[in-house]
Amino acid sequence: VRSILGAGTAISYAADWSEYFGHQPSDGSGDVFFHLDRLWADPEIDFVGIDNYMPLSDWRDGFEHLDAQEGWPAIYDRAYLQANIAGGEGFDWFYASAADRSAQVRTTITDGAAAKPWVFRYKDLSAWWSNAHYDRPGGVESGTPTAWAPQSKPIWFTELGCPAIDRGTNQPNVFFDPKSSESFTPHFSRGWRDDAIQRAYLEATWLWWGVPANNPVSSVYGGRMVHVPECAAWTWDARPYPFFPALTDVWTDGANWRLGHWLTGRLGAVSLAALVRHLCLRAGLPEDRIDVTGLWGAVEGYAIGVLESPRASITTLSRHFGFDAVETEGVIRFVMRGRASAATLAPDDLVAAREGDVLELTRGQETELPQALKWQVARADEDYEAAQVEARRITVDTTRIASESFPMAVPPEEAERRCRRALMEAWTGRESAVFRLPPSRLALDPADVVTLAHDGRAVPLRFVSIADADARGVEAVRQDREAYDLPPGAPRPSALSQAVVFGAPEAVLLDLPQLTEDQPAHRPMVAAHAVPWPGEMAVFRSPSTDGFEPLTSFGTRARIGALVSDFYAGPTSRFDLGNALVVDLLTGTLESVTDLTLFGGANALAIESARGVWEIVQAGVAELLAPGRYRLTRLLRGQRGTENAMGNPAPAGARVVALDDSLASLPIAEADLGIPWNWRIGPASRPVSDEIYVAQAFTPAGVGLRPFSVAHVEQPWRRPRTSGDLTIRWTRRSRALAADSWGGLEVPLAEELEAYEVEILDGATVKRVLSTTTSSAVYSSADQTADWGAPLGPGDTLDIRISQLSALVGRGAPKTVTLTF
């Protein structure tokens, strides 16, 4: 590994938290083996790697379970979670069976006479790391230690994580996936999403190991036992949030994100405690006067859009999250609501006023309370679009609707939970109390909860305010702890505006004969295909490799494909019934047409038989073989004078372009013909320097200006003749589109002047060139004698090549014929 990654690479094994410390089979043998010590002690191993998913809580429904009875306020409380890092299950006690777990029958971890309980404590990292290890085969401790040297190597948490599911800290190692046979929810989890418990787990763990008293220094290597900088939280996903997990059609595991270990989309939020602390510091409070340890949860986004005091900003957060601020002993303390009762009071514990009753209880009218509460927030899982959540009571005698707006980004399901809590607070808090306490109750502060035993009822009351005088005047409201342990709302699918990612287009530059009257004959064509289609393609050109200037743009995707198999030459001027053209199209379709429609120009395709050489073929019959694959028959070959471009064969893989309105004409001047240009083609929304642009070198030759080859070259043997002058005759063809008309006496002359050259060939050697301005040329007897030693006569043959001339591009398509005498 180091030979590949470098000499400084640290190497270890990522052991599960349940195996790193030893093997203790439950078979009654009493065996205890430190089975990985040889590995940890190996000189090539740099650290002890642990996938740390140790449980940090044992929270249950209600408030009668053991941990709640010990006074812990909630599962999110940092002190509670940290007390279980080196304590609780796996340190102080364990559950011997599933039945014991259900009944909370805890068995203390002991070691009898050996007095080494740390051997069985997977959470006792400090003792395991600091002591020598002795195997116990059959329960009898060996006299020789294992290879492990105490404090010899640091511990790295190669994974450390907790699922974002209700009570995830009860069993952080499980994950929920309905498609998996190993899908589980943590012990006593209600199965709903809970991002706050994941953050509470990570904050508690990281901060605890960051305290020097919890993380001793090695006397061997001088570093801390747990090397916190190299500990890795599980798991960060490289896929972009919120597109993952929202786009489940792209990523099929997206649905697992809600309750999974993913930190993506969660870790970027700021903790509520950190935000409140920051606002207090902005207000000028000294750091030692701020206590936010009683807050939990996270703020995905909070916009302060107006000029306001930090207190006003904190008040908005307090309303949304449900917490109070209280001054006690010179410190501003922030605490979440829903805490356990700190004391029980009876009327005899109260101080009577000089006038009135010792206790004043008030119950507000229903008509003064809202039937429904509506909150507007910004969606944290979209582009911060507005979202509205609602909480409603059904069987009440009021129709009032209250609404509030919060400048916060929140997942809608979490916002609905908080909205329901706020509505329940309003209805529970309709019962209020006013009374006085003696100075002996000085320890009670605002936001504390007491239980008032009155008239046969035990009423939990949360102190709202305390006025200290000769007695402590208290105003309190009724509290229901259940209001602070509600399920989230139903998940809402997000509607994301997906970013369109364009790939490099398939771009083709074609120098073709003129296809339509509105297209100047000298202009080449451009076709392009891309998925997704960017809407508009831009074409740039330059005579060099920089300084590209825009030439044109077009907005239609062309039907581009490739030959599936070789395509051989065939007859022209009639149907080719022997060949079949098999093509794969990247997009679009082909369909059969009638002969009349075919003669009108339908189903025309350009086949690249050689680089930059295109034969135009039309197909009357199109048969779909597979998605995007067609077999084309009843062919018309060499259309628009491209018979000389026919390959024999055009190889499989050659490009095919359907000739339709999707092709764009490149608006170049006739003076640009013959110049080697560099071209760049790509999405018009991107700059020409973008790497997505396709670069091509292409020299327009003005194929549309090139005269067609001549036709019907007359054979000498068809006329009686004697040796002497030979008149070579042919029929002129025209590149003009009007030449297809059957009404004219003669096809129009598309050139400025009618001119031809006839080459007399001897194999590849040109013996003589005859020039003429008519559709015939005379090969005189004297020239024949000079070329061949005698005039040509019966039994002789003569190879000739005839080209019509263009004033702009020179020779047109040649016609090569062997004359027989």
Terminal-residue alpha carbon distance, the chain: 83
The Cα–Cα gap between 125 and 597 comes to: 85
Nearest of 448, 426, 404 to residue 316 by alpha carbon:
404
Q: Are 461 and 479 in contact (CB under 8 A)?
A: yes
Cβ-based neighbour number of residue 542 at 10 Å: 15
Q: Identify whether 235 is preceded by a cis peptide bond (ω within 30 of 0).
A: yes
Q: Are 314 and 276 in contact (CB under 8 A)?
A: yes
Q: What is the DSSP letter of 497?
A: -
Residue 108 vs residues 72, 86, 402, 788: alpha-carbon distances, Å: 21, 14, 53, 119
Nearest of 652, 657, 656 to residue 567 by alpha carbon:
652
Percent of the chain with pLDDT over 90: 87
pLDDT tens, position by position, 23-45:
999 898 999 999 999 999 999 99
Percent of the chain with pLDDT over 70: 100
pLDDT of residue 719: 75
Residue 722: is its pLDDT beyond 80? no
pLDDT of residue 272: 96
Amino acid at 709: S
Residue 126: is its pLDDT beyond 70? yes
The Cα–Cα gap between 367 and 384 comes to: 35
pLDDT tens, position by position, 47-80:
999 999 999 999 999 999 999 999 999 999 999 9
The Cα–Cα gap between 787 and 781 comes to: 10
Q: Are 650 and 563 in contact (CB under 8 A)?
A: yes
What is the pLDDT confidence band of residue 181, given thresholds at 50, 70 and 90?
A: confident
Residues in the chain, how many? 821
What is the pLDDT confidence band of residue 376, given thresholds at 50, 70 and 90?
A: very high
Q: Are 379 and 385 in contact (CB under 8 A)?
A: yes
Average pLDDT over residues 118-135: 97
CATH no., domain 716-820: 2.60.40
pLDDT of residue 817: 95
Sheet of 290-294, strands arranged across: 290-294, 331-336, 323-328
pLDDT tens, position by position, 642-696:
999 999 999 999 999 999 999 999 999 999 999 999 999 999 999 999 999 999 9
- As a whole number, the mean pLDDT across the chain is 94
pLDDT tens, position by position, 317-358:
999 999 999 999 899 999 999 999 999 999 999 999 877 789
What is the pLDDT confidence band of residue 534, given thresholds at 50, 70 and 90?
A: very high
The secondary element (H helix, E strand) that includes residue 782 is: helix 781-788
The Cα–Cα gap between 757 and 775 comes to: 10
Nearest of 796, 811, 813 to residue 726 by alpha carbon:
796
Nearest of 633, 646, 555, 481 to residue 61 by alpha carbon:
481
Cβ-based neighbour number of residue 28 at 10 Å: 7
pLDDT tens, position by position, 619-641:
999 999 999 999 999 999 999 99
Residue 743: is its pLDDT beyond 90? no
DSSP 342-367: SEEE-GGGSPPPSSS-SEEEEE--GG
The Cα–Cα gap between 794 and 254 comes to: 86
pLDDT of residue 503: 85
Domains of the chain: which residue ranges? Answer: 2-257, 270-335, 338-484, 506-700, 716-820
The secondary element (H helix, E strand) that includes residue 317 is: helix 310-321
pLDDT tens, position by position, 558-572:
999 999 999 999 999
Nearest of 510, 562, 573, 537 to residue 709 by alpha carbon:
573
